[in-house]
Amino acid sequence: MSSRNEQITIYTANDRRGGILRTAVRSFQEVWRFRQLVWTLFSRDFKAQFKQSILGYFWTVLGPILGVFSFVFMNYMGILNPGKTVVPYPLYAFIGTSLWGFMMGSIGYMSSGLNAHSELIMRTNIPKIALAASAFANITYNALVSLALIALFMVLSRVHLGLGWLVFPFLALPLIVLGSGIGLAISVVGIIARDIAKLVNQFFGLMIFLTPVFFVADDIHNRLLHRVIMLNPLTYLVEFPRSVLLSQPSGFASLYLAAAVASFLIFLIGIKVFDLVQDLVAERL
């Protein structure tokens, strides 16, 4: 009989009870407990995505630039009329697509987190929320790269880096939080119903055209379309941080705050959905 002291985890029927706040606290505790594993998985996944790649780590920088190239090209060719921008259009569009990329990147990394670690799910008893949380490291890294590129392009465009630059990362945070919440829900629901991820991608593929990411909302002359854009909460999560960064006045502070609160609520709901459905993941992988 072994004399080693082994830790025994006992699960009870009450583990899944409670509201979204209790679930969130328990989930954060599990992530913190396995923080070393989260970092190890991030390091492994980050290095793996650049293996056998000609450009290697340069893809991290090239990706955001290519994301805005099509809009700049269409503007240059006269196909796209984004309206009158307060800074050179490439910079204006790059800030917008970077903000949009914060959300879409969070959705992508979070939604694919469990599939990427399917072997660990099948063979170990590591909390699935800890495996999903390893995506946060990738999300943070890519956000920092985008922020550095924004600062670089502002300097190259001779746009002053004012006090707005200091608060801009915090103003962009609700987009990351929103994307993470949606991604958490997709990561478990999408394994059961695999077309969910495709539907979400299609939805946001449409929403980018109803959000002032690469155009100026005030210069939309179609009254119905302009109203739809102004009813879109994502409008304020993109427009207000960009206005603050560029030291431009904005009357959207209260609407941005409401959209930010809704983003954090969706994040908590995403954690709750993940917690309720995660037990079905292993049998569907």
pLDDT, tens only, 130-150: 888 888 878 888 888 899 999
Q: Look at residue 156 and tell me if it is in a domain.
A: yes
Buried b (16+ CB within 10 A) or exposed e, 191-224: beeeebbeebeeebeeebeebbbbbbbeebeeee
Share of the chain above pLDDT 90, in %: 36
Tell me the whole-structure pTM to 2 decimals.
Answer: 0.84
Q: Which of 24-33, 166-175, 185-194, 217-226 has the lowest mean pLDDT?
A: 185-194
Q: What's the sign of the alpha-carbon dihedral 100, 270, 207, 193?
A: positive
Residue 39's domain comprises 20-284
Provide the pLDDT confidence category of residue 16 given band limits of 50, 70 and 90: low
User: Has residue 44 been placed in a domain?
Assistant: yes
The answer to whether 201 touches 224, Cβ cutoff 8 Å, is no
Give the range among 45-49, 88-92, 140-144, 220-224 with minimum mean pLDDT. 45-49
Q: Which two tokens stand for residue 257?
A: 């705050």
More confident: 230 or 70: 230
Is residue 159 situated within a structural domain?
A: yes
Mean pLDDT of the chain: 83
Closest to 190 in 3D by CA, of 127, 274, 268, 111: 111
Give 285's pLDDT tier (boundaries 50, 70, 90): low
pLDDT of residue 2: 44
Average pLDDT (28-48) is 80
Q: Is residue 11 part of a domain?
A: no
Domain count, the chain: 1
**Total residue count of the chain as it appears in this document:** 285
- Tokens, residue 98: 């970077």
Q: What is the mean pLDDT of residues 242-250?
A: 91
Residue 3 maps to a domain = no
Whether residue 173 lies inside any domain: the answer is: yes
